[in-house]
Amino acid sequence: MASEDRVLTAPGLIVVVDGVTTVADGAEALGGTYADVLATELIASASDLEIDLRTALAQAIDRTTKALDLAPPTVPGRSPQATVTVGRVRGALFEAAAIGDSPVAAIGVDGSVRIVTDDRLAVLVGDRPARLEQWERLRSGVGQIGDQRHGELMREIMRGLSEAVNVPAGYWIAGADPQAGLQAVVASWPLEEITDVLIATDGTSVAVDKYKILTWPQIADLCRTQGPEAVLDLVDEADASDPFGHRWPRAKPGDDKTLVHLLVAPRRNPAGLPHHGRAPAPDSRHQP
């Protein structure tokens, strides 16, 4: 399966979109197509510095919905959806907005880490019986990622989200409802206070929040010295070391991986140009 992650950049602008993989029986795999259109539309909207990022997201989702002729509401696990994160330089500030689980981490000149992350879905799902059973089967070694019961539980989880998507008491994701854009998690920081900005899809951020094999400052250091691909290689190795999810319970053995690194400090990169790593091709060592 080809990667459903997308990265687009424009001067002072970074867009990262992670198309949601469909899991329902008979569902058409449109996550990558949706991500392509949404990334393009968001670059167009967010390039207008007079528009705030939430409004830009709402406009991009609306145009994507019309371009793909989507009928709201979209259904988790069956309809085209995506997590989306955008970072933008606006005057003396770096602005970030996120819908879904692709976080932004800014490294401060004092070594602090400032995070923009949308954990509403994780909180919603975390204590559901199907998820608790799924994780316990993996931790105990009774089950494994990909077995029949694991798949049944995943579909049960997705069905349970049908009434919780894009509603105030639930979680928000880019789909066919522009309102999701207005509910993005946002933050901004003075450029003079940060040295690096990292944007990762969840296939990469697990290194910090689930596997705990790296910290955000360590990822920034690796990006400076070896490039984002060095980080992706380490996460690939971690995935491969636990193929059945016994050490790190999770939904699938590995996920599409994208990491964008922006060097902010003038002494490191006067032009402030982003560079990013993408998951290797499906026929190489990483299978999305």
CB-based burial label for 92 (10 Å; 0-12, 13-18, 19+): exposed
Number of domain units in the chain: 1
Residue 78 has pLDDT above 80, yes or no: no
What range does the domain containing 195 cover?
A: 5-278
Q: How confident is the model at residue 20 (pLDDT cuts 50, 70, 90)?
A: confident
Whether 285 maps to a domain, the answer reads: no
Q: CA–CA separation, 256 vs 236, rounded Å? A: 10
Q: How confident is the model at residue 32 (pLDDT cuts 50, 70, 90)?
A: confident
Residue type, 143: G
Tell me the mean pLDDT in the region 146-168: 92
Q: 108 vs 74, which has greater pLDDT?
A: 108
**For 27-31, 83-87, 91-95, 107-111, which range has the lowest pLDDT when averaged over its residues?**
27-31
Residue 35 has pLDDT above 80, yes or no: yes
Q: CA–CA separation, 197 vs 42, rounded Å? A: 19
Residue 164: predicted pLDDT = 92
Q: How confident is the model at residue 275 (pLDDT cuts 50, 70, 90)?
A: low
Whether 284 maps to a domain, the answer reads: no
Whether 288 maps to a domain, the answer reads: no
Q: 78 vs 162, which has greater pLDDT?
A: 162
pLDDT > 90 fraction of the chain, expressed in percent and rounded: 76
Q: 49 vs 287, which has greater pLDDT?
A: 49
Whether 193 maps to a domain, the answer reads: yes
Whether 283 maps to a domain, the answer reads: no
- Cα-based angle 18, 251, 58 (whole degrees, multiple of 5): 30
Whether 266 maps to a domain, the answer reads: yes
* b/e sequence 133-146, b meaning 16+ C-beta within 10 Å: bbbebbeeeebebe
Q: How confident is the model at residue 276 (pLDDT cuts 50, 70, 90)?
A: low
What is the H or E stretch that residue 137 is in?
Answer: helix 129-140
Residue 24: predicted pLDDT = 53
Query: Which of these, 53, 94, 88, lies nearest to 190 by C-alpha position?
Result: 94
Tell me the mean pLDDT in the region 141-163: 93
Return all residues near 86 (Cβ < 8 A) that are at least 6 apart.
13, 14, 15, 16, 42, 46, 53, 56, 57, 96, 97, 98
Whether 113 maps to a domain, the answer reads: yes
Residue 33: predicted pLDDT = 86
CB-based burial label for 148 (10 Å; 0-12, 13-18, 19+): exposed
Look up tokens 């998951």; give the residue: 279
Mean of all residue pLDDT scores within the chain = 88
Residue 21: predicted pLDDT = 65
Residue 31: predicted pLDDT = 75
Structure tokens at 168: 């105030």
Whether 23 maps to a domain, the answer reads: yes
CB-based burial label for 268 (10 Å; 0-12, 13-18, 19+): exposed
pTM summary value? 0.87
Residue 80: predicted pLDDT = 86
Q: In the 8-state DSSP scheme, what is residue 171?
A: B
Residue 158: predicted pLDDT = 86
Residue 232: predicted pLDDT = 96
- Determine how many CB atoms are found less than 10 A away from the CB of residue 283: 7
Q: Which CATH number fits the domain that encloses residue 242?
A: 3.60.40.10
Residue 274: predicted pLDDT = 54
Write the pLDDT tens digit of every residue in 234-243.
999 999 999 9
Residue 266 has pLDDT above 70, yes or no: no
Q: Note the Cα 208 to chain centre separation in Å.
A: 13
Residue 288 has pLDDT above 70, yes or no: no
